[in-house]
Structure 1
Amino acid sequence: MWSRHVTTVLTVLAVGTASALMAPGTAAAAAPATCTPTKLPLPAGMTEGEIGAADSGSGFAGRVYNASTYHAVRWSGGKVIDYGDLPGLTATMTVSGVNRSGTLVGNTIDRDNSKAHAFRSRDGKLEALPLPSGIQSAFPTAINDAGDIVGWGYGSGGPSIAILWPASAPGTVVKVTGGLPTAGSSRAVGIDQDGTVLVNSYPVGNGTDPNAVYLWRAGSARKLAAPQGSTRVRGDAVSQGRVAGSASPADGRGAGILWDKDGSMVRPEKSGLLYSVNSTGQSVGFEPGGTLDEPLVTGVWQFGKETASLTGAEIRVAVSANDGTLGGSVRDYDVYRTFPTTWRCG
């Protein structure tokens, strides 16, 4: 079983030069390296926190909490900015996106667990986002530096549908349509700086297993290629035209996929799922496998090559920032508290 103690330096696997002491003809081994964690500050009165998103600079966003409430926060320049919550609505909160200007997006859940309320930040506090007709719950997933927000929502008994809150028309919301399947469900899960939206498409009657991935912009969409024999294909993040995601064949074993700018597929070594990619092509995800006693290993890849891996039940890496920093959280089982954490690997 993995150690449950938070360490100050995490040993990782990284690509490097072979040792000078290796005998001639010996295969080069991966050189040891370290990922060094840094615990981020918490606002007064908050006891725990988690990073959920990175902006296009060097800032992060996420949630902090105590025994009675959740708040949305941003970390920038070593400081934490507290945006509070949506009063009366927060049983729990997710912060899913942040842009360079510091606008946060996410959702809160009613205390009776009946609805999800989409929010953005403005003037230092959170405000509810408008919903399309027929949509009762909504989940923003990403925001770009222009301020365009994407996500998805659903109504009573209906399918989920991809949603766009355009920065060019503040206070409005539109359903993402055109070039996408008209049957089944759709969910917008990412947006690039040029406004291209990453959309997962779900077949009729299946709201959990997407079977197609699209890049949508201005009413037209391009379907991304999928590995032959895949029954489940999903995208999770888009940056500079590259998409991080995964595909599963009929036997259920997943494989991480990085779609490059031209739509070609890269199959990163030892990857089972990719869920974040930055502007340089660095992605984060999971290696295959994992059990309750030996949890999933978080991997870091540069295109097809794994450059680092972090192991431990206490570690949760959420995102790769554009400068290569990783953001997430560490659970300290000595005090039973979770702390927002960044890592630099190298």
Structure 2
Amino acid sequence: MSSDADLPLPAGETRGHVSTAANGGWVAGSGSSGGVIRWHNGAAENLGRANGQQTELTDINSSGTAVGMTYANSREDDAVVYRNGQFTTLPIPPGRRTARALAVNDAGDVVGTALGIGDSFDLTIWPAASPGTVLTINPDPAVYGYVSPVEIDEQGRILVRASSSETDFFVRYLDGTMTKLALGTDYVTAFRNGRIAGEKYENDRFVTPEWDLTGTIVRQLDVWATEPVVDSGTRTAGIYRTADDGYALGVWESGVLTHTLITSPDGGFGRPVITDDGVIATIGDTRATFHHRCPA
């Protein structure tokens, strides 16, 4: 069964932009005023601006802790976290100029990037177990100038994107070890519970595979989907092209397309987010969330 519903906007906001969602009815995004909005079970809360600056939220967890960044003079400035009713600025690693928080898991571990001298970016970790601590990770600083997280999962593993002339992917484990994966593509967008999903060009067409932690393909969607996202089980969501050359937001179970939640002739919706408790929302200038409850 699926349904859609408009998310209400707080007073003073004329437009909302959904950016992330989490288990327990949490959704977060931004408003027309330059501040950020958090929704819980459909109720809207205006969180305002962190440090008085334009603020963007990039992720939220099942406790309602949200992370993101501020902007100064239209440029990314500080990494911030919203918890316990207030914004906190996360420490910038030594030798770096700015930082941005991109993802948070239910344990409260925050991951993002930090900008260094020479415009290099390193993976940055703010561990929940060590408040005030900040770590920077680069598999090989002599090779990779841009290192960022795809996502951190609930087991504390991070799927790492490391770019130079080519793009490589690594899994960083909680003990600090890293394993390089041979995925054969640059287009990887999802990581949860050991599931990795993205797009790959092969045999003159794009396909949407899912890999395991060894980099082995375990399944492929029966219809090519762009920017796929995954839950902790067997569900995938993504955008696919329809027979009349339009766009659709689809849901797959174990690689098989089972539901189409919304269609558009011109792709007027963005990359989706998915939660383990059955909520699928589109990212973009939209107030709509799509609730999908699959039979047990």
For residues 261-301 of structure 1, the C-alpha deviation after alignment (integer angstroms, 9 at most, x for no partner) is 564312212224344211123122233699xx966433322
For residues 97-119 of structure 1, the C-alpha deviation after alignment (integer angstroms, 9 at most, x for no partner) is 11121110012222x22333211
Amino acid at match of 2:198: G
Question: What residue number does 2:131 align with?
Answer: 170
From 44, 59, 65, the equivalent of 2:26 is 59
Counting matched residue pairs gives 287
Q: Does 1:216 align with 2:172?
A: yes
Q: Does 1:43 align with 2:3?
A: no
Q: Which has the higher contact order (CA 8 A, sep 6+)?
A: 1
Instruction: Give 1:79 shift.
Output: 1.6
For residues 166-212 of structure 1, the C-alpha deviation after alignment (integer angstroms, 9 at most, x for no partner) is 101112211124xx3441121112111111011012124xxxxx622
Q: What is the DSSP-based 3-state SS (H/G/I as helix, E as strand, rest coil) of the residue aligned with 1:45?
A: coil
Question: What residue number does 2:190 align with?
Answer: 237
From 65, 68, 78, the equivalent of 1:117 is 78
In the TM superposition, 1:256-267 aligns within 5 A as 256-260=208-212, 263-265=215-217, 266-267=219-220
Aligned-partner Cα distance in 1 for 2:58–2:216? 27
Closer/same/farther in 2, CA of residues 248 and 295 from structure 1, 3 Å limit: same
Aligned-partner Cα distance in 2 for 1:198–1:39? 33
From 77, 88, 104, the equivalent of 1:127 is 88
Q: Does 1:306 align with 2:267?
A: no
For residues 200-249 of structure 1, the C-alpha deviation after alignment (integer angstroms, 9 at most, x for no partner) is 12124xxxxx62221101321122332xxx4x424322211112222345
Query: Does the CA contact (< 8 Å) of 2:274 and 2:280 recur in 1?
Result: yes
Question: What residue number does 2:150 align with?
Answer: 189
Q: What is the DSSP-based 3-state SS (H/G/I as helix, E as strand, rest coil) of the residue aligned with 2:9?
A: coil
Q: Does 1:146 align with 2:107?
A: yes
Amino acid at match of 1:148: D
Q: Does 1:158 align with 2:158?
A: no
Question: What residue number does 1:325 align with?
Answer: 279
Closer/same/farther in 2, CA of residues 86 and 307 from structure 1, 3 Å limit: same
Aligned-partner Cα distance in 1 for 2:147–2:283? 30
Compute the TM-score of the two structures, normalised by the length of structure 2: 0.85
Closer/same/farther in 2, CA of residues 271 and 153 from structure 1, 3 Å limit: farther
Question: What residue number does 2:248 align with?
Answer: 297
Aligned-partner Cα distance in 2 for 1:189–1:273? 15
Query: Does the CA contact (< 8 Å) of 2:149 and 2:158 recur in 1?
Result: yes
Which one has the bigger strand percentage? 2
Q: Point out where structure 2 has 5 or more consecutive residues left out of the alignment.
A: none
Amino acid at match of 2:119: G
Q: Does 1:281 align with 2:234?
A: yes
Q: Does 1:101 align with 2:63?
A: yes
Residue identity (%): 29
Q: Point out where structure 1 has 5 or more consecutive residues left out of the alignment.
A: 1-33, 205-209, 332-337
Aligned-partner Cα distance in 2 for 1:189–1:130? 21
Choose 1 or 2 for highest CA Rg. 1
Aligned-partner Cα distance in 1 for 2:27–2:180? 31
Q: Does 1:344 align with 2:292?
A: yes
Aligned-partner Cα distance in 1 for 2:293–2:263? 14
Aligned-partner Cα distance in 2 for 1:150–1:250? 36
Aligned-partner Cα distance in 1 for 2:80–2:288? 21
After superposition, the CA RMSD in angstroms is 2.7
Aligned-partner Cα distance in 1 for 2:249–2:128? 34
Compute the TM-score of the two structures, normalised by the length of structure 1: 0.74
Amino acid at match of 1:260: D
Query: Does the CA contact (< 8 Å) of 2:170 and 2:180 recur in 1?
Result: yes
Closer/same/farther in 2, CA of residues 150 and 329 from structure 1, 3 Å limit: closer
Aligned-partner Cα distance in 2 for 1:254–1:181? 30
Q: What is the DSSP-based 3-state SS (H/G/I as helix, E as strand, rest coil) of the residue aligned with 1:323?
A: coil
Query: Does the CA contact (< 8 Å) of 1:99 and 1:145 recur in 2?
Result: yes
Instruction: Give 1:158 shift.
Output: 2.9
From 25, 29, 36, the equivalent of 1:72 is 36
